[in-house]
Amino acid sequence: MRLQAILSHAFGICELGLNWHDPRSTHFGGFLNDEIRACLFDRRKYKPKIWRQLQRLRQLKADQLPCALACVRNFGPKLAIHAIKQQNLRPDRQPHYAEKIVCLVAIQRNRLPCPQRVIYIQSDFCILHEDLHMAQTPPAPEPEGQVSDAVKGNWVDHTAPAWSRPYLRLSRADRPIGTWLLFLPCLMGLSLAILSDNILTLHDLWTAVACFAGAFLMRGAGCTWNDITDRGFDGQVERTKSRPIPSGQVSVRGAVIWMLIQALLAFAILLTFYTNAIILGAVALVPVLIYPFAKRFTWWPQVFLGIAFNWGALLGWTAHTGSLAWPALVLYVSGITWTLFYDTIYAHQDKEDDALIGVKSTARLFMEATPKWMLSFLIATVSLMGAAVILVTLDRSPLSLVIALAGPWAMGWHLTWQLRVMEMDNPDNLLKLFRANRDAGLIPLLFFAIAYFV
């Protein structure tokens, strides 16, 4: 005998049985609480009269019953019932809510299938362990003034004093990736300088700490300057209109004062370096001041960003050795090509808005040819960084040279992964890959550190 369509609680089945805790001793009123074996209905003395109840509903149109059953809701705890799947007549042993109705196609007496009368209402398994009638905790509202692309759960929006949040957002403290991308070239320059003379002192440790603090402050000052000059554009771009100045959280005058405070603190830290490093750090202000205007007159503003962001490679080297040398310059150029790689990814987020307001970028310049250009930037980054490594490790052991060269090689594989998974029209994907460049920059530093001790 074939199984017929099994309807819902509205027709007397799928009810909470008295024995729902024990599927071995349940009654049919619990909707298959008991174990289902072959020819179950033939072994029972009294067969359930399901078909008779279905016959009473033949006057209903085929599309009325599914709509009625769609109103069945989760009620109370889970029933100890079994789900029967169309492709597998044997039930599994997982309990389900009564809302999870899975039925077979009914068969007429002429052995032709009836129209499907019962729909499958898929429960949300993300909330099955909660009672429907229990009070649901509403999602926490976003902090007031939060910037659209801020890191979720960042300390600025949740733990910083309320009065300081607009200024910290202006400095991008809620988006730390920029600080990392400014700090990593400093560490690379310092690491190669240490490899070149094989000398590590406490002054180098202070240099690393000072570079991190300086990167945080100068990145904040540079971003504040960028927002001051771009305040007219930011209000027209979806991603940037929530920034502190266009959203009215900070006035232009307040932003200027905040920028000067950060720049002066960074300069105070710079004064602890050698004279040549101090001069070099002061000169770094030139590309920082020019960058916000580059997008107005060139399709390559990312080059100016690379010049500014990788200045730390020169500074870190000079802070250790006291003067510039070719390895630092080669490393600096490799950093610029790396910036072209990751900031082109970043620029693709705004290419539509940039086109409307007339802002130039490599993303708009390359368009569909972006992967080819990025591959060339990848190759240049790895090759130039490898050349810098060779220049500083010629006098070291062959093993140290190989380990140090493995740094840019491994970084290249990380950049290759970014290139392969990049989706140029998916802002979430682009932002994720842009942030992944922190890890890409940490990879060669790990190998440089190992090479020092070999």
List the domains of the chain with CATH numbers.
Answer: 1-137 (no CATH), 166-225+251-453 (1.10.357.140)
pLDDT band at 215 (very low <50, low <70, confident <90, very high): very high
d(CA 437, CA 342): 7
pLDDT higher than threshold 50 for residue 127: no
Tens digits of residue pLDDT in 131-165: 444 445 555 566 667 777 678 888 888 888 989 99
pLDDT (mean) for 247-262: 94
Residue 218 burial (CB count, 10 A): 28
pLDDT (mean) for 306-313: 96
pLDDT higher than threshold 50 for residue 105: no
| pLDDT reported for residue 130 | 43
pLDDT (mean) for 359-380: 96
pLDDT higher than threshold 80 for residue 71: no
Which range is least confidently modeled, 6-15, 106-115, 212-221, 399-408?
6-15
pLDDT (mean) for 74-98: 47
pLDDT (mean) for 284-292: 94
| 96 closest CA partner among 40, 38, 32 | 32
pLDDT higher than threshold 60 for residue 358: yes
Taking each helix axis from N to C terminus, what angle separates 202-229 and 252-270, rounded to the nearest 10 degrees?
Answer: 160
More confident site: 189 or 76: 189
pLDDT higher than threshold 80 for residue 34: no
| pLDDT reported for residue 237 | 81
| pLDDT reported for residue 240 | 82
Backbone angles phi, psi at 96, to 5 degrees: -140, 165
| pLDDT reported for residue 20 | 44
Indicate whether this model's pTM tops 0.95.
no
pLDDT band at 95 (very low <50, low <70, confident <90, very high): low
pLDDT higher than threshold 70 for residue 115: no
| pLDDT reported for residue 66 | 47
pLDDT higher than threshold 60 for residue 96: no
| Average per-residue pLDDT for the chain | 79
d(CA 292, CA 312): 19
pLDDT higher than threshold 60 for residue 341: yes
pLDDT higher than threshold 90 for residue 207: yes
pLDDT (mean) for 30-39: 48
Q: Are the C-beta atoms of residues 184 and 438 closer than 8 Å to each other?
A: yes
Which range is least confidently modeled, 36-50, 163-177, 395-409?
36-50
